[in-house]
Structure 1
Amino acid sequence: MARFPPSASAILARRPSSPGTTTRNVIKQARKSDPRITASLTRLHFHDCFVNGCDASLLLDVGGNITESEKTAAPNNNSARGFNVIDNIKAALNKSCPGIVSCADILALAAEASVSLEKGPSWKVLLGRRDGFTANKAGANTSLPTPFETLAQITAKFNAVNLSVTDLVALSGAHTFGRAQCKFFSQRLFNFNGTGNPDPTLNSTYLTTLQQNCPQNGNGSILNNLDPSTPNAFDNNYFTNLLNKRGLLQTDQELFSTNGSSTISIVNNFAKNKNAFFKAFAQAMINMGNISPLTGTQGEIRNDCKKVNGS
């Protein structure tokens, strides 16, 4: 794993306004009108780091040498959101410390602030990442876990970026807040794996609710709470839901319902011990934020997160 140079942190430490404080203040303002924003910003960091490493490639729009944007890849198209808030954070930081804080670092800072604002854990965000020059739409389509994959497939994708099974379960716990569109789980409700029946791992009462929210051949973009019990709070109810067969996405429930999986004991532990989950989640976010970062003279610090400097 790459380590971040102390020079970047030292420069930031000398600034009168901490980038973390600025980031948090912008998110607080956005949260007043958009309660979903904290979950969305946390997801952006995840979707950036799994493709090309944590280099803010997800934020690049088409233009200049960027011919395809990761924003239009299947896992992101019409579901990844919060880009305007990242732009607002960048604008605020450009005023207080221009040319110092990368867009990749902003994504990491925004994720930490978002989780802690919703009463989740806090952690020290390593700084010193730099921004990449390229986007990788094909990589986004293949590297990011999807809601339709088996636990073995998801585990392989985490292994590919040196994240452990504990990291996988802990990071899945981010589904303790946020929403998902019907199209990402409707196959579980009526014709699971071509059987003509619902997914047997779904609680029957929960199934009825979901079928009403997402009728067969209905609007696939309707939003549903990932955590039906406390949808806006960052807590460990996500894991309690799995024990009760109330995981929304197939990949959620598989963490507990896959026979013989090592994830089952981890889910049980996190369901009964919120502190254990919070500690593991904070460490998993640090591990994820250290996936192949550009440091030193690699990459650049973008002036505008949407485009490479000079384009």
Structure 2
Amino acid sequence: MFKFNTLKNKFTSAFILLGLIPAIIISVISTMNSSSDISTKVYNQLTSINQIKKQTVTKYFEERKGDMGVLVNIADTMQNQAFNQLNAINTLKKKQIEDYFTNNNIQLEMLANNSKLQNAINVLTSEFSNKAKWRSLLDQYDTEYKALLSNFGWYDFFIISERGTIIYSVTRESDLGQKISSDLKGSSFEKAFSLASKSDSNESHFGDFRPYPPSNNDPAAFAVKPVLVNGKRIGFIAYQQPIDKLNNILGNREGMGNTGESYLVGQDNLMRSNSYLNPTQYSVAASFAQGNTVKTTAVNSALKGEKGIQVIMDYNDNSVVSNFGIIFNLIAASDGQ
């Protein structure tokens, strides 16, 4: 009985096992097929997502490329506006400076042709040896010529004998009574007088800014004009040009923003007007005293006779838009950051 039951159990187990194997196989195959379907679906889904993301990224960069094109156009427009504005400002200030010097020359011309001044030259020259009488005459002529300083922005006005002695000065500094060619040798006054005395014409001659000892060694320029009567030279007249008037013209910063400025530079690369951005090192006085030169691309180009507008590094090593040109052997520049 025991053996029969045992055999029965074995057959039962065998049949159950035989039934389970196909089920397991089918289950495995179903699972594999299901996994394959899931993998395919996941792959397809990821592929679709990737395409969507790719299109999104591509569209984003195309839009940014378009934005860059717009920004470039805006930047070009703003640059052109800055160029045009600086050019207009520089042109205006150059014209103001030209007009100022032209008006000064016209005034000298009018004075040289004035019979009262011609008579003053003769009287002062003849009485110069009589120092007491000569000095009394100085005060008398102040009523005629003192107002020239305030009217035209001159620092001083001079009457000079035919031999080159300063026989009248409004300010009465130490140059009064001195012979220009010897006592003021090397000064801008001597330079202008030398040109005027050697010239066959009666035109005004200009001596560029240099430190002038009789005026506390402050940089000063001079214009000297011969005075002729019936074609004969009887003497000269001159004015001393301070920095103040040029600073007033160039220091007007209307339309130049917070960092724009206009300035003058001489042939020696020294300042001829005070810097707005760095007055400590690049005022006229500091430039001459410390030898602080301006040798920017704009200045170097202007010294070659060129004019234009460029993006350059200025004398403070900042990138600026600079409009430049030459005027009366001085370099005029307007910079804007």
Q: TM-score, normalised by structure 1?
A: 0.24
- Structure showing greater radius of gyration is 2
Structure whose residues are more often helix by fraction: 2
